[in-house]
Structure 1
Amino acid sequence: MSWQALLKKGWWIINHPFERQDPRYWRIRLMQSLLLILQLYSGIFVILNLTLFGYYTVAAANLAVFGVILGIQTDLRRNLNLERSANWLTGTIIVFMVIYVALTQGRNYAFIWLSMVPTIAFFLLGIRRGLQVTVPFLLLTIGYIVWSANAWPSYAINLPAFFNISCALFAVLTIARHYEKSRAEAYAFLEERNGELQRIAITDGLTQLHNRSHLDAVLDSEVQRAQRHNTELSVLILDTDHFKVLNDSYGHLVGDQVLIELSELLREKIRATDILGRWGGEEFMIIAPNTDAEGAVELAEKIRTATAKHRFTDEHLHLTISVGVAELNEQDTLISIVRRADEGLYQAKHDGRDCTRLGKTYTKV
């Protein structure tokens, strides 16, 4: 078994039902890592203080912390009470730090471990409660150090001191790195979810094409751009022929599948610069920038012919479409060009369906 697999099955893993979008997911991940780090540190210092440094009282305090941390982890795994576990964990660390500094009397620069308290308090309790805990703690510990420092012997930078400073700073760095990693993952998830919501907002649920509101926005922008730069623009409105008969004969589920397949067919036949969307019901719109009426009719005929040849769904259904086309004129607006394309569609229906017709030329009233 690889070390990655072992990490995923370790005793520190806390199973929970929270999804990534739930803030509790990130909080419990942070607590899980903190509990592991503190168990490892306290366990290592029990051994070092007993065997290398000879600080038996401090080793006993380390052992007590190890036991309390293990108890907090067990309670969190069983009950998933994040608030209680956060309070207990923060309180345990604060009490131990006070006892540790008092026992060592500043020996080996032990007070460097006090730097962990604000980091952990803010991460576990949040900004407001973290301040409420951290400010009194720092004021009291700084006051205690100032009051007691004159009675403490002076110490040089020796191996235990170097070990204390290095480990304390590394612990802060490790916790901060994990918190930043969790924050970055949460931010990336929110970005992903925001992008998904934006996509949903402009997408038709059935066909996955642009929806009506997005088509309105795009067409308005394209009309303004074409008029500003004096370029060509055409609009095509496509409607299925006798779709109600198909729905009545085969059911709405088959009808939906036909619309999905028709959407895929339209995607394949349009050009890279064209904008395709579901206009409503069984109607589709294609916005064709830099395209005059002749080019738009050619595109419409290509799509119409391909649709007539295609056989839809497992029923091998035959379907035709009618198309209305309008080219942008100087005095056109979004509403007028759509109206003229719709008039072309109406004329195509009137002329027997399965054909393409141009809408009337715009006439200012």
Structure 2
Amino acid sequence: MKFWHKYHPDIDAADPRFKQVSLIYSILLIMIAYFAIIGTLNITLFYAPEIAFFDYLGLVLALIIFRFVSRGGNFKVASWAVIVSIAAVLLAFVHLAEGRNYSLMWVTILPPFAFFLLGRRNGSWVSAIILVYCSWYLYQLIQQQVTANLGLGALFNFIEVATAQVFLFRFYENSRQEAYDQLQKTAITDPLTKVYNRLHLDNTLKSLVAQANRSHQAVSILLLDVDHFKAVNDKYGHLIGDKVLIRLCDVVRETVRETDAVGRWGGEEFLVICPNTDQQQAIQFGQRIIENIRAEAVEKDVHITVSIGAATYSAGATDSIDRILSSADENLYRAKRGGRNQIVGGS
């Protein structure tokens, strides 16, 4: 378990904030240890109290940010505070050292932190601004011959390294984000039909019900089942059966609204979650789905029909999510017993 979990017990590995909060605490601990050690060395070993002052300033800022985050502070604000603190301390060190003692080299640690904490876009322009400023400052020092043993070659080397870092970390962050997005998509998607899987449907329904309680609006669900699907598989084969399910999902997605969530509940059963939808509207949506599927030649003139059970959760109701799902399931079987190719709603 992460040590910071005691500060944020509501954030687990499935939470999108998990990586961000892990990174923030890791960087803050590095900052605290680094500034404390280097500040002490600058006083006791290098006799540079003016540089140690900025090291200890960084230590204080890191401790303040740590306290802010651990008390439930906004992670985005904390990320910006970390980057601003690091940039301020590094630039102060560069100016104090007037480019000597490899002070400019330390600026190159900023891009990875900026990209990891702020993302691709913000990390790019923050890094670019700091590195352009340092390049300009180094050029001024060379022009004024303030810093010995530095010439245009050193300036060009710094610019090359800075540019390479920005592009390198931007490329890395792009690749990492694309891989993360693909992983997230795979984790919530049914591999055959490309609609949501049951896990995502469960989480979506919980979230929408909680939102409905706050906004005093209804949430409806439609539980669909393909009529006589076993007969389709027996007559045409499982490959055609798979194509039937794929096309079925396409028709459903084309019929419902963008705000509705469509997913595979299991086998040939599918669930549609309709936010801000009362029972009458849900039945109308369901009837439209039935008509569109019935009119569609899914595969090689294979026509199918579906039966639908509808149920509605109203804000403030005593019904639980399990009870709503159970009602939809009961209504689905009522539709089956009533002759199929129809929707049944109500409790």
Q: TM class by shorter-chain length?
A: 0.5 to 0.7
Residue 235 of structure 2 aligns with which residue?
Answer: 249
Describe how 1:271-290 pairs up with structure 2 within 5 A.
271-290=257-276
Cα pair 2:279 2:346 within 8 Å, conserved: no
> Deviation at 1:164?
6.7
Structure 2 matches for 1:116-155, cutoff 5 A?
Answer: none
In the alignment, which residue of structure 2 is the partner of 1:190?
Answer: 176
Aligned to 1:238: 224
CA distance, structure 2, for counterparts of residue 229 and residue 354 of structure 1: 34
Query: Which residue in the other structure is 1:303 paired with?
Result: 289
Separation of aligned partners in 1, 2:336 and 2:218 = 26
Residue 272 of structure 1 deviates from its aligned partner by 2.5
1:316 paired with 2:270, answer no
Hey, what's the Cα distance between the residues in 1 that align with 2:234 and 2:149? 81
> Residue 341 of structure 1 corresponds to which residue in structure 2?
328
List runs of 5+ in structure 1 lacking aligned partners: 1-111, 123-156, 361-365
2:154 corresponding residue in structure 1: 168
Is 1:207–2:193 an aligned residue pair? yes
Q: Is the 8 A contact 1:345 1:359 kept in 2?
A: no
What is the distance in 2 between the residues matched to 1:323 and 1:174? 63
Question: What is the SS of the residue equivalent to 1:209?
Answer: coil
Counterpart CA distance in 2 for 1:224 and 1:182 is 42
What secondary structure is seen at the aligned counterpart in 1 of 2:151?
Answer: helix
Question: Match of 1:219?
Answer: 205
CA deviations on 1:109-164 (whole Å, 9 max, x unpaired) are: xxx9x96xx79xx9xxxxxxxxxxxxxxxxxxxxxxxxxxxxxxxxxx9xxx9997
After TM superposition, give the deviation of residue 325 of structure 1 in Å.
Answer: 0.5
Question: Greater Rg, structure 1 or structure 2?
Answer: 1
- Match of 1:353? 340
- The aligned amino acid for 1:171 is N
Displacement of 1:179 in angstroms is 2.6
Q: Give the alignment's TM-score, normalised by structure 2.
A: 0.56
2: CA distance between counterparts of 1:323 and 1:296?
11
Q: How many Å separate the matches in 2 of 1:352 and 1:334?
A: 28
CA offsets 1:310-331 (integer angstroms, 9 cap, x no match):
1012x11010000000122411
SS at match of 1:287: strand
- Compute the RMSD of aligned alpha carbons: 3.0
Q: Does the aligned pair in 2 maintain the 1:343–1:359 contact within 8 Å?
A: no
1:178 aligns with 2:164: yes
> Larger deviation: 234-243 or 192-201?
192-201
Q: What whole-Å deviation, never above 9, does each CA across 1:65-111 have from its counterpart, x for those lacking one?
A: xxxxxxxxxxxxxxxxxxxxxxxxxxxxxxxxxxxxxxxxxxxxxxx
- Structure 2 unaligned residues grouped into runs of 5+: 1-98, 110-142
Distance in structure 1 (CA, Å) of the matches to 2:210 and 2:157: 59
Does 2:278 correspond to 1:292? yes
Which consecutive aligned stretches of 4+ in structure 1 deviate over 3 angstroms post-superposition? 161-164
Q: 1:240 Cα deviation (Å)? A: 0.4
State the 1:340 CA deviation. Answer: 0.1
Deviation at 1:273, TM superposition (A): 2.3
Which of residues 318, 340, 344 is equivalent to 1:331? 318
Partner amino acid, structure 2, of 1:337: I
Quick one: distance in 2 between partners of 1:349 and 1:277?
A: 21
> By how many angstroms is 1:208 displaced?
1.2
Deviation at 1:289, TM superposition (A): 1.5
1:258: Cα distance to partner? 1.0
1:334 partner amino acid: I
Match of 1:16 in 2: none
Q: Which amino acid aligns with 1:319?
A: I
Cα deviation digits, residues 282-310 of structure 1 (max 9, x gap) = 11111112211111111101100111111
Distance (whole Å) between structure 2 residues aligned to residue 310 and residue 317 of structure 1? 9
When structure 1 is superposed on structure 2, of 344-353 and 165-174 the one drifting more is 165-174
Tell me the residue number matched to 1:36: none
Other-structure match for 1:92:
none
CA distance in 2, matches of 1:262, 1:162: 74
**CA deviation after TM superposition for structure 1 residue 227, in Å:** 2.6
